[in-house]
Chains A and B, each alone.
Chain A
Amino acid sequence: MKASSTCKFSRVALLSLVVFFGFAVTTPVKEAESATPAAKAKAKTEAAAPAKSEKGTAVEPKLDPSDPSSVIYLDTSGKPAGLGDPNKPPSMAFQAGRGWHPQALSAAGLPRDRYGLIDWAKIVREKIVSPRFSLNPQDEEMPPLQMNVLIPAKGDFVDDVIYPHEMHTYWLKCEACHPAIFVPAAGQNNMTMTGIVQGNWCGRCHGKVAFPLTDCKRCHSSPKKAAK
């Protein structure tokens, strides 16, 4: 009975020793393990702090709402948001509002040509829009040039073209076309339809921003006397 009890005791003591030893060995390791991330985090915060303070020093002085480069007008990447103009809302919504809105455009009920495209010439003639002559209020308004040019078609069967300076000078100034695209002298521009299709002469605008070349008769409108 005694012998067995001593045996048990020694076993318990040995076990407790092992447990204690194990505990003693593992705790410092755990401590070390737990210590490293903490240290890293500390280091991180230390590293981040000066960067933050640097940014702060760069931007902080500019909080003046009348200054376009002020922090309140910058987006997250530090670039000027919106228009960079304190008098206008510097929001993405405002920029989106300036975009292309096909539905709003169709709801406006603007006149269209037979291809379903907006007839800007008709809009001007019917005075549906009346844009300012210039963004600069000091600019003197220049009335459109009242000058139609008859451009004879080369073939015998195609109607001649009447080129209206009026509608073109309403939107454009002389230098937009002369002398780079058209030599300003009658008969000096050897225009051909193939050239126009390739983007020369009228084709610089028509088919791109102005009404398309498919609308033949909108330009070829003056009947030829020699037509058979």
Chain B
Amino acid sequence: MTKRHLAALFLVLAMPAVALGVQAEIKLDDKLSSMKKQGHVGPVIYPHAKHEKLFKCNDCHPKIFKEKRSENNINMKANMDGKYCGSPNCHNSPKAFPLYECAKCHTGVK
């Protein structure tokens, strides 16, 4: 058993763990300059774990959200238009809390 073998074994064992693993919270602060214009509106801390309990991965990926950072141009207009968070079965429907409840997603809202 060489080091290579060990590394390969480790990868094989670790891969499913990564694939099924609980994602941590994702900080969405791409549009911080726009948020700052609105006064007390801070970045969104997206609770991935909360959504994992309710949905399967392919409910959202890759159709609604691409699985790469900065690939999704998430903004409130897009949400209102029924994209991203505001998809017709998500936060633009009675199934989830509505888009106007700013403080439920955005931090620092007064």
Contact = CB atoms under 8 A, between A and B. Distances in A.
A196 B98 CA distance: 14
Interface stretch (B16-24, B29-37, B47-55): B29-37
B77 interface: yes
Contacts of A227: 77
Given A156-B34, A192-B39, A214 B75 contact: no
Contact of B100 (A154, A216, A224, A228): A216
B14 interface: no
A194 B102 contact: yes
B110 interface: yes
Given A155-B76, A157-B31, A157-B76, A213 B38 contact: no
Given A158-B76, A158-B77, A194-B110, A214 B38 contact: no
B109 interface: yes
B71 interface: no
B103 A194 contact: yes
Contacts, number: 55
A100 to B, nearest CB: 22
Interface residues of A, number: 19
Interface residues of B, number: 25
A213 B98 contact: yes
A170 to B, nearest CB: 25
Given A194-B109, A216-B80, A227-B77, A155 B35 contact: yes
Contacts of A156: 31, 33-34, 37
B98 A154 contact: no
Nearest to B39: A192
A213 B39 CA distance: 20
B80 A197 contact: no
Given A154-B37, A194-B110, A196-B100, 7 more contacts: A156-B31, A156-B33, A157-B78, A158-B76, A159-B80, A217-B81, A228-B75
Those 7 A-B pairs whose CB atoms lie nearest each other, nearest first: A157-B75, A156-B34, A154-B38, A216-B80, A213-B100, A214-B98, A157-B77
25 contacts: A154-B37, A154-B38, A155-B31, A155-B35, A155-B37, A155-B41, A155-B76, A156-B33, A156-B34, A156-B37, A157-B76, A158-B76, A159-B77, A192-B38, A193-B102, A194-B102, A194-B103, A194-B109, A197-B102, A214-B92, A214-B98, A214-B100, A216-B80, A220-B80, A224-B77
Interface of B: 31, 33-35, 37-41, 73, 75-78, 80-81, 92, 98-103, 109-110
